[in-house]
């Protein structure tokens, strides 16, 4: 039941982020119908979730300090427009993005477990460093902006290879080859880590079921002894 609820909250957070991005891109007006109803409904759900967890928390101060993003995400941004403080209202709209950031606390344990599976965290950090270094090498050798180089590096590492940008120097080509091998290795390691993570989760659940049954048997044995 808890997993279903967590998935529901994640979906609401994703919908909220899509609305915010579309609003910033001037594709929709988040304060107009029907988007304002959707946003307000999500706000109510997140507010109920936050205050319920606050009420049930044994250490209120600890909960408050570790759930700041959750609190910021339930600020009623639309009400600020009543006071005609447009700039503050625009900045405050970003508070909606905290609805997704605040979810990190709910999945912190699972995320840490996944990153530690097969030492995936170390590979991810290494690949990120190589990605940035390769982008820098390409930027210097090909005399292009770092932003454009980073786009090229990501497209190359993910083996997408749009071909809109290509290296012409030896250093640039070396960086491309490095990214190709890193990309293949990262994707392979990522998929194997996912498989290992869920396999380990299933093994743990089976072990927990066995332990639970053993506890029940032990209780029944103790009751028989008493009789």
How confident is the model over 17-61, as pLDDT tens digits?
Answer: 788 778 777 788 877 888 888 888 888 888 888 888 888 888 888
The domain tally of the chain equals: 2
Is 96 in contact with 13 (CB distance < 8 Å)? no
User: Of the given ranges (5-14, 133-142, 166-175, 206-215), which has the lowest mean pLDDT?
Assistant: 206-215
Please indicate, yes or no, whether residues 91 and 139 belong to a single structural domain of this protein.
Answer: no
Give the whole-angstrom CA distance, residue 17 versus residue 8. Answer: 14
The mean-pLDDT minimum among 119-128, 159-168, 181-190 falls in 159-168
Q: Answer positive or negative: Cα dihedral of 169, 172, 178, 184.
A: negative
Which one of 106, 137, 171 terminates a domain? Answer: 106
- CATH code (residue 81): 1.20.120
Nearest to 71 by CA among 102, 38, 94, 39: 102
Residues 155 and 76 occupy one common structural domain: no
Which of 81, 106, 131 is a domain's end point? 106
Please state, in angstroms and rounded to a whole number, the distance separating the CA atoms of residues 227 and 213.
21
Which region among 71-75, 79-83, 127-131, 143-147 has the lowest average model confidence (pLDDT)? 79-83
CATH code of 203's domain: 1.10.287.70
Question: Does the CA dihedral 70-71-73-74 come out positive or negative?
Answer: positive
- Where does the pLDDT of residue 90 fall: very low under 50, low under 70, confident under 90, or very high at 90 and above? very low
Looking at the structure, tell me whether residues 80 and 173 fall in a common domain: no
Q: Examine the pLDDT at 85 and tell me if it is beyond 50.
A: no
Q: What is the pLDDT of residue 91?
A: 47
* Secondary structure letter of residue 74 according to DSSP: T
Are residues 120 and 219 part of one domain?
Answer: yes
**Where in the sequence is the domain holding 96, given as residue range(s)?**
2-106
| 8 Å CB contact between 184 and 192 | no
Q: What confidence score (pLDDT) does residue 113 get?
A: 73
Q: Do residue 22 and residue 46 come from a single domain?
A: yes
Q: Which has the minimum average pLDDT: 51-60, 88-97, 139-148?
A: 88-97
Greater model confidence, 36 or 7: 36
Which pLDDT score is estimated for 82?
Answer: 44
Between 210 and 48, whose confidence is greater? 48
Tokens for 131, please give them: 């990605």
What span, in angstroms and rounded, lies between the C-alpha atoms of 3 and 6? Answer: 5
Can you give the length of the chain in residues? 227
Q: Are residues 217 and 125 in the same domain?
A: yes
123 and 101 in a single domain? The answer is no
33/53 Cα distance (integer angstroms): 31
Is 119 in the same domain as 221? Answer: yes
Q: Residue 150: pLDDT above 80?
A: yes
Quickly list H helices, 86-159: 86-92, 98-101, 108-116, 120-142, 146-157
- Same domain for 220 and 118? yes
Please state the rounded mean pLDDT for residues 64-80.
70
- Among 11-20, 114-123, 197-206, the range scoring the smallest mean pLDDT is 197-206
Q: Mean pLDDT, to the nearest integer, of 193-221?
A: 69
Contact 16, 75 (CB under 8 A): no
């Amino acid at each position: 039941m808890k997993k279903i609820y967590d998935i529901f909250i994640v979906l609401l957070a994703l919908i909220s982020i899509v609305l915010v991005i579309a609003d910033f891109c001037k594709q929709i007006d988040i304060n107009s119908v029907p988007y304002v109803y959707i946003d307000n409904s999500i706000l109510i759900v997140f507010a109920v979730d936050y205050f319920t967890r606050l009420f049930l928390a044994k250490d209120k101060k600890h909960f408050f300090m570790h759930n700041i993003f959750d609190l910021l995400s339930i600020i009623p941004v639309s009400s600020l427009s009543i006071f005609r403080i447009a700039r503050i209202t625009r900045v405050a709209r970003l508070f909606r993005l905290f609805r997704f950031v605040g979810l990190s606390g709910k999945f912190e344990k699972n995320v840490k477990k996944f990153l530690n599976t097969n030492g995936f965290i170390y590979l991810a950090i290494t690949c990120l460093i190589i990605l940035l270094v390769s982008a820098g090498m390409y930027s210097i050798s090909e005399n292009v902006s770092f932003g454009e180089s980073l786009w090229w590096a990501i497209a190359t590492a993910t083996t997408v290879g749009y071909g809109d940008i290509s290296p012409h120097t030896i250093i640039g080509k070396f960086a491309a080859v490095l990214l190709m091998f890193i990309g293949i290795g990262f994707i392979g390691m990522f998929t194997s880590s996912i498989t290992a993570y869920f396999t380990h989760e299933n093994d743990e659940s089976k072990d927990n079921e066995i332990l639970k049954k053993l506890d029940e048997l032990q209780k029944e044995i103790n009751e028989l002894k008493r009789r």
